[in-house]
Structure 1
Amino acid sequence: MKSIGSRDKLQAAAAATGPRRVLLLVFASCFAFATLLTFLYTSSGFASAASSGSRLGSSSSSNAAAGSGAALPLPVFDALVHYASFSNATHRMTDTDIRAISAILRARGPCNLLVFGLGAESPLWLALNHGGRTVYLDENEFYVKYLEPRHPGLEAYDVSYTTKVRDFRDLLEAARGSRAAECRPVQNLLFSECRLAINDLPNELYDVPWDVVLIDGPSGWNPNSPGRMPSIFTTAVLARSGATAAKGPTDVLVHDFNFEVEQVVSKEFLCDENRVAGSGTPSLAHYVIRSGGPADAFCAAGQDGRATSEEKTRRK
């Protein structure tokens, strides 16, 4: 009797738990179905958001790309030049020099513009070359650090010059003596051992196809100043080598051309046959440098900066 009673109790318990199992199974099925629907809805929402974000990002990128090459509207360009010309800033260029340089930037811009020297006009060149790239090189590390945060978008690097104005004729003779070797017209400046070559810039700058180069530095006011011999020589090589030569002619502007160093060194490396007549001012020379030419000479025969006997006589 005892065993029969126990069996009856087990059967009764099994009969009672049957409906509970069914209810539990139904509940689990409903929960799984709801979870699946939630997952599908959420995935769809993420995909839609990602697609929308991708479209917005793509639109923003294309707008940025479109704006990156947009030239400054001419009325704005002219207004900037006008007010810069009448500025009372100290140590600024003359009105005629500003307008002559601006005319070149209008013709070539937006472009890749390399400027030797920082000064009162630096923000102007950056603005006039809107949509292009403007890079400044200066001898004063502290001036570079001072100006960059005050002019957003200004890209500047300091350069360590080892030359002195007092040595410029000796440096010139040494360059002539190694014109077919270290100081040749076409070369990779990164590996140049020419004393006039600037080879410590960020590597990437040597691969930029420069359209316009403005030489307004380094300083050359006294015998111990670096002088512009390295910037003129380096520009002459850049214009004839690599990416700069490959993209076409380079406009080179030499400021303070009324000084001896600028005249003699420009004649040596930029060459009279490349000078554009009537496009500069007494203190600004304009050259257009093209690739090609002899491998061991910057200028055509008889057109370099060697002093003639008549000039030597005048110096005495």
Structure 2
Amino acid sequence: MKGLGGQKVLLVHSSSNKPSGGGPGSPAMGRRRVWLVVFLALFACVSLASMLSSARDASSAVGGRRRASAAVAKVAASTAKKGRRGDAAADAALGPGLPGYVFDALVQYAAVGGNTSGSMPAADVRAIAAALKRRGTPCNLLVFGLGGETPLWRALNHGGRTVFLDENQWYVSHLEGRHPGLEAYDVAYTTTVREFPDLLEAARAARAAECRPVQNLLFSDCRLAINDLPNHLYDVAWDVILVDGPRGYTASSPGRMSAIFTAGVLARARKEEGAATDVLVHDYEREVERACSREFLCEENREKETSTRSLAHFVVRGGSAVRREAFCGGTGSTATAAQ
């Protein structure tokens, strides 16, 4: 049996199929997986809760901003409403025309611009504006002459009727294109400044006939009467008439004799009882304007406190009390005009 006591054989067995404590299928690994799932679930719940809380906070902030904006808007609306009531009370005297502060601002800017060449002097702009304001706008405003102040007169009479008459047909068309809605007509004057003495003398001789103070200008034979305007203009009750045209600074210019005469007749032809028309004549320092104003508008009707050196303000009355046989009373217009 000696052979059995020799070399010994060592047999190595492979690992058993029984799972060990550290393998993937061990109970320890299963517990770790359970805890991992629980942790992830808790994390997801916490994250979801945080997101919901943030959304609620954002919604509350937006709602707060909206409520604050609504409160500010409510206060602003209340303040604006009070302001509107205050403005309405302050501007009640001007009626439905421009608010008083807008009216005054326009006059102020125009008066400042009046310091430039070719513009109406600031004192005259303010005097005309004051006459319009005292009359009350909107009203019926007739203006002889187009110029730099045309947009101003139209704006100051906002809501009323403003009509312009000018000798230059091209200029009428030009301004109508620049100012849509402007109502302007061209007038064909048949007089010149050099004819002024003869025209005035003829009008005085015919004051009881074709050149009488109350008449239908459409059918007038008086050479100073303007009778080629659109017919409907003769039926308007003009509240204010401004004579700032036509040209009158040279002997060949048309002169303002016809404009002043026509303004005087239009004012006296008003049928409303107690009616009065404010007639303003610019460039009153010139001989033609001064003499014709005294002849046909009358010194007795002149408002000296609202006149300036170059602007005369007359208040001419119509209705049943108007004088029909002569333009002026007192000692007569001839003596007055000669002064």
Q: TM-score, normalised by structure 1?
A: 0.73
**Corresponding letter in the other structure for 1:152:** P
Amino acid at match of 1:205: L
| Higher CA-based Rg | 2
Partner amino acid for 1:226? Answer: P
SS of the residue corresponding to residue 118 of structure 2 reads coil
Gapped regions of structure 2 (runs ≥ 5): 1-94
Identify which of 228, 247, 260 aligns with 1:232. Answer: 260
Q: Which amino acid aligns with 1:212?
A: V
> Which residue pairs with 1:283 in the alignment?
310
Distance 1:280 1:216 in 2: 15
Q: Which has the higher contact order (CA 8 A, sep 6+)?
A: 1
Q: Does the alignment pair 1:221 with 2:254?
A: no
Which residue of the partner structure matches residue 103 of structure 1? 130
Give the one of 322, 327, 335 matched to 1:293: 322
Question: Deviations 1:216-262 (Å, cap 9, x if unpaired)?
Answer: 0010010110100000000101111145x657100000000010001
Structure 1 residue aligned with 2:189, among 150, 161, 169? 161
8 A Cα contact 2:301 2:315, kept in partner? yes
Paired with 1:208 and 1:282, the residues of 2 have a C-alpha distance of 30
Aligned with residue 286 of structure 2, among 246, 259, 263: 259
**Aligned partners of 1:294, 1:262: CA distance in 2, in Å?**
22
User: Quick one: distance in 1 between partners of 2:230 and 2:254?
Assistant: 20
Is the counterpart of residue 170 in structure 1 residue 198 in structure 2?
yes
Q: Check whether the contact 1:90–1:120 (CA below 8 A) recurs between aligned residues.
A: no
Give the corresponding residue for 2:63. Answer: none
What secondary structure does 1:184 align onto?
A: coil
CA displacement 1:71-113 (0-9 Å, x = unmatched): 1001111111111111265411011000000111112211000
Q: CA deviation at 1:199?
A: 0.2
Name which of 81, 95, 120 aligns with 2:107.
81
Q: Distance in 1 between matches of 2:224 and 2:310?
A: 23
Distance 2:249 2:337 in 1: 26
1:119 counterpart letter in structure 2: G
1:208 maps to 236
Gaps of 5+ in 1: 1-68, 312-316
Partner of 1:197: 225
Structure 2 CA distance for partners of 1:308 and 1:72, relative to 1, 3 Å: closer
Q: Distance in 1 between matches of 2:273 and 2:154?
A: 24
TM-score normalised by structure 2 residue count: 0.68
1:46-86 CA distances to partner (integer Å, 9 max, x unpaired)?
Answer: xxxxxxxxxxxxxxxxxxxxxxx821001111111111111
- The count of aligned residue pairs is 241
Contact 1:116 1:231 (8 Å CA) reproduced: yes
Q: Secondary structure at the match of 1:127?
A: helix
Quick one: structure 1 residues 85 and 164, their matched pair in 2 at CA, closer, same or farther if it must change by over 3 Å? Answer: same
Corresponding residue for residue 121 of structure 1: 149
